[in-house]
Amino acid sequence: MTGREAFDIPGISMEPTIKKGERVVAHLTDGDYAPHEGDVIVYKAPPSWSNGNQSALRISRVIGTPEVDVRCCDDAGHLDLDGKPLSEPYLATRAASAVDFDVVVPPGRLWVMGDSRDVSMDSRAHLADSDKGTISVADVVGVVDVPDRAG
């Protein structure tokens, strides 16, 4: 990662972690991003996600990294990754997802979701796309310094 850039958050898809109108700083990847589950990323949205706008940026959390099986939901209502429940302490008291899915993330791609699951237009909203709702790792612009909400 080579530099940093500030981004203004226009929507509520990452609440409660990042609030609408908040400014966040991201470490720019310059195309060199090693994905980690739980990272909050800024990425170039696929054209099908943004009415053909090839420069639209979005912010979401990495849930599934390449070759991981992401499924919603287990008997307790949690997402599971490769058969193990995912702990998501950053969520409000809402369910992990109202949409059922089971996707093996292709190599070089990511499954992303917003923290405000009931409003976020994330990977789940694009399951029918040719990439099954995933984004390219190469489209990650930066990794966000998540605001500390403690205290």
Predicted structure pTM score: 0.92
**Stretch among 44-58, 59-73, 95-109 having the lowest mean pLDDT:** 44-58
Asked if the model's pLDDT at residue 150 lies above 60, the reply is: no
List own/partner pairs for 3-11 with CB under 8 A and 24 or more apart.
Answer: 3/27, 3/28, 3/30, 4/28, 4/142, 5/142, 7/42, 7/57, 7/59, 7/142, 7/144, 9/59, 11/119
CATH class of 4-144: mainly beta
pLDDT tens-digit series, residues 21-36: 999 999 999 888 999 9
Domain boundaries, the chain: 4-144
Q: Percentage of the chain surpassing pLDDT 70?
A: 92
